[in-house]
Amino acid sequence: DGGITQSPKYLFRKEGQNVTLSCEQNLNHDAMYWYRQDPGQGLRLIYYSQIVNDFQKGDIAEGYSVSREKKESFPLTVTSAQKNPTAFYLCASSIGVRDRIILGKLFFGSGTQLSVL
């Protein structure tokens, strides 16, 4: 079955630690995205990638970093510079994106809940 896999489901970060959230897709999609969701809120865009080896900052990129070395993978690192990292993180993909407009439907993973110890 094609889809997006996020891991782990739950993650805990210690003070001053970087943590990496995994996102893999086998939908052959060019575009991938990372969103952050706080309780009772909508989704806020962290980073997105139109194609391999290219990515753009979203609305709340500070304290986060990404890489896109393979089409299938778009890992998100939450760095120690992100002072309030506790949130639900969602990865998504679509066939493409142009000028911040999604081409086609968005497909989401099941999310990673990150908490601070």
Partner 1 sequence: DAKTTQPPSMDCAEGRAANLPCNHSTISGNEYVYWYRQIHSQGPQYIIHGLKNNETNEMASLIITEDRKSSTLILPHATLRDTAVYYCIVGNKLVFGAGTILRVKS
CA distance 73 to 20: 12
Among 11, 13, 30, 43, binds partner 1 (CB under 8 A): 43
Q: Give the interface segment with partner 1, choosing from 14-22, 62-70, 73-81, 92-100 (CB under 8 A).
A: 92-100
Are 68 and 49 in contact by the 8 Å Cβ rule? The answer is yes
* 40 contacts partner 1 (rule: CB under 8 A): yes
For residue 101, the minimal CB distance to partner 1 (Å) is 6
In sequence order, what are the residues at sequence separation of 6 or more whose Cβ sits closer than 8 angstroms to the Cβ of residue 50? 30, 31, 56, 96, 97, 98
CA distance 59 to 24: 22
Q: Give the interface segment with partner 1, choosing from 13-21, 63-71, 73-81, 101-109 (CB under 8 A).
A: 101-109
Q: Give the interface segment with partner 1, choosing from 13-21, 63-71, 75-83, 90-98 (CB under 8 A).
A: 90-98
